[in-house]
């Protein structure tokens, strides 16, 4: 299955047996992010949370000090 990233508009070929592909096929309203964009957003989110200027509306349950895992 081919999917287009909503941010950079690159088209990726996805494995039909992966969970993410099944989600996109069954619910087309879901957004697809390529691995590069997903990693970039994750890094910026962690940096914003760790800056101290970001407030959660819900209680924080885990520490965001570690960097996210690379896929």
Query: Is a pLDDT exceeding 90 seen at residue 36?
Result: yes
Query: For the chain, what are the domain ranges?
Result: 2-50
Question: What is the pLDDT at residue 3?
Answer: 84
The total number of residues shown for the chain amounts to 71
Query: Is a pLDDT exceeding 60 seen at residue 71?
Result: no
Question: What is the pLDDT at residue 40?
Answer: 92
pLDDT tens digits along 15-31: 888 888 888 888 877 78
For residues 38-65, average pLDDT: 79
d(CA 52, CA 21): 36
Question: pTM for the whole thing?
Answer: 0.59
Residue 42: exposed, middle, or buried by beta-carbon count in 10 A (0-12, 13-18, 19+)?
middle
Question: Among all chains, which residue has been given the structure tokens 């994750």?
Answer: 42
Quick one: CA dihedral 58, 40, 7, 23, positive or negative? negative
Q: Tell me what the pLDDT averaged over the chain comes to.
A: 81
């Amino acid at each position: 299955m081919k999917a287009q990233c909503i941010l950079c508009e690159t088209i990726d070929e996805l494995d039909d047996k992966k969970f993410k592909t099944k989600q996109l096929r069954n619910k087309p309203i879901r957004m697809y992010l390529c691995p590069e964009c997903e990693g970039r957003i994750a890094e910026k989110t962690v940096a914003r949370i760790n800056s101290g200027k970001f407030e959660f509306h819900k209680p924080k349950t885990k520490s965001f000090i570690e960097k996210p895992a690379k896929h």
